[in-house]
């Protein structure tokens, strides 16, 4: 009954969100702050990929050919705990310290380039900025170490463009066991700082 009503609220069969199941949330659950990781994908069709009109709503078309191997190497240099201020739109009182758990690039069966990213959390525009930095590598405007240098500078730059939202898809969110949900939410709400020894507190 609940699932059917939620589907009715969301609208027609071509809605962007589909509810498949529902159950009562555990005590302390917070959809945003209880999460321990988020996973995104970003699709780009470069000059060597077939521009499939059926994928136009979830793929960015890029006019130049990109070197996916260099992009993948550059992406992996960004993995870890860091201040991602260079890749985040600043917000007052918001921290830009994140743990990027994985970041890979591959060419899919249809020829599109697909970025897969996972982090404990992402700040505003962070995924699209990280993608833009690696596209600059793939195009030859930045060398493979360029994104890491920008990361360490901790400042916004014009060395790459933040990609549009169209190619971005949230694919999965991970949560801890029910008994840890409230504690995780409290931990997430606490402002994080990056110390010299790398400890966040």
The model's confidence at residue 75, banded by pLDDT at 50, 70 and 90, is very high
**pLDDT of amino acid 12:** 67
Cα gap 88→124, rounded to integer Å: 6
- Going by C-alpha positions, the residue among 9, 46, 26, 21 that lies closest to residue 134 is 46
**pLDDT of amino acid 19:** 83
- 196 compared with 59, residue with greater pLDDT: 59
**pLDDT of amino acid 104:** 98
Section 72-78 average pLDDT: 98
Under 8 Å between Cβ of 42 and 167: yes
pTM: 0.87
């Amino acid at each position: 009954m609940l699932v059917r009503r939620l589907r009715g609220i969301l609208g027609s069969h071509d809605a962007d969100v589909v509810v498949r199941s529902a159950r009562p949330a555990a005590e302390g659950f917070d959809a945003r702050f209880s999460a321990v990781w988020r996973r995104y994908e970003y699709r780009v069709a470069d000059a060597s990929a077939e521009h499939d009109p059926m994928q136009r709503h979830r793929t960015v078309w890029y006019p130049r050919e990109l070197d996916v191997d260099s992009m993948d190497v550059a992406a992996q240099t960004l993995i870890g705990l860091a201040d991602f201020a260079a890749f985040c739109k600043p917000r007052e009182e918001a921290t830009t310290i994140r743990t990027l758990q994985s970041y890979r690039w591959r060419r899919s069966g249809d020829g599109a380039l697909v970025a897969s990213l996972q982090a404990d959390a992402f700040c505003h525009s962070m995924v699209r900025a990280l993608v833009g930095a690696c596209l600059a590598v793939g195009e030859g405007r930045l060398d493979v170490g360029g994104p890491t240098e920008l990361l360490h500078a901790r400042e916004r730059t014009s060395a790459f463009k933040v990609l549009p939202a169209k190619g971005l898809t949230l694919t999965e969110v991970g949560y801890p066991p029910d008994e840890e949900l409230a504690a995780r939410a409290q931990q997430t709400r606490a402002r994080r700082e990056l110390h010299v020894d790398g400890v966040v507190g």
